[in-house]
Amino acid sequence: MKLPMNRRQMFTNEQVLHSEPAELLGDWHPLVAQLGSTEGLVEFASLASLLQVGTIEHAHALREFLRRYTGELLLPVELPAIRRAFDHASANELRELIEFDREQGLHPLLRDFTSASRRMGQEQLRRLKPLRDHRFIQRYLLAVDEGRAEAWHTLVFGVTLAVYSLPLRQGLLHYGAETLRGFVQLGCRSITVSETVLKEMLDECFEQLVASVDALLPAQDGGDFLRAV
């Protein structure tokens, strides 16, 4: 997808996590992963409807969508799920992870997007299959194959961070920032929004993102990270 140059510029900064494997941290949110497909557009519209935003026809609607998604799903649901999965994987607690995996399907918002989340999560988990000596990964894969776990994308993201000993804080900030930018890119396919307004939208969400991560993890400075996004 190509945006006009004045809107593409804000999405071309690649200073995020240069030292980390891009293939591990660069996946889009499952609802953004299919930006160019009809299915992706339907999922985006469905999420907007679920968040009671309606059709994204102008900048105000896109801002409201980002505000509701950030406040109702990203910060209270997805980030804590990543953190908990990271903790379980770090402590080699597979049984606890599987139990948490099952709980995810009971969340009222997540139930509407089980297919997208499981698809991306299982694809990411199977990328780790070559780690034959990593029993935690192999047992989690077996649980998925046997139908005892779903491998939700947030859980697999947290597990991936733990398996590769990647910084949890950077992972959470990266996930949130890339997801929000992905939704903005998708929204800009159908409406025209100035670069200034788009930056204001993202800055507002990023401020909430840093505050949320601060609440999840020991206080550290996250401002420099997001200024590089």
Give the model confidence (pLDDT) of 122-131 as tens digits: 988 998 889 8
Q: What angle do CA 55, 58, 63 make, to 5 degrees?
A: 85
In a domain, 226, yes or no: no
| 78-91 pLDDT per residue, tens | 999 999 999 999 99
Token match 């969400």: residue?
205
Range(s) of the domain holding residue 185: 30-216
Among 170, 174, 172, smallest CA distance to 229 is for 174
Residue 24 counted as domain residue: no
* CA–CA distance, 172 with 210 (Å, rounded to integer): 9
Flag whether 149 is in a domain: yes
What's the confidence (pLDDT) of residue 185? 79
Count of domains forming the chain: 1
Please tell me the least confidently modeled range out of 65-74, 78-87, 88-97: 65-74
Contact between 159 and 86 (Cβ < 8 Å):
yes
Q: Is residue 82 part of a domain?
A: yes
DSSP character string of 142-173: HHHHTTS----HHHHHHHHHHHTT--HHHHHH
Residue 7 lies in a domain: no
Which of 148, 138, 146, 23 has its CA nearest to residue 92? 138
d(C-alpha 15, C-alpha 36), whole Å: 25
Residue 97: is its pLDDT beyond 80? yes
Residue pLDDT, tens place only, 162-193: 998 989 999 999 889 888 888 887 777 777 88
Has residue 157 been placed in a domain? yes
Q: Is 20 part of any domain?
A: no
- Is 147 a domain residue? yes
> 43 falls in which pLDDT band (50, 70, 90)?
low
Q: How many CB atoms lie within 10 A of CB 42?
A: 11
Mean pLDDT, rounded, for 108-115? 71
Global pTM reads 0.77
| CATH code where residue 196 lies | 1.10.4190.10
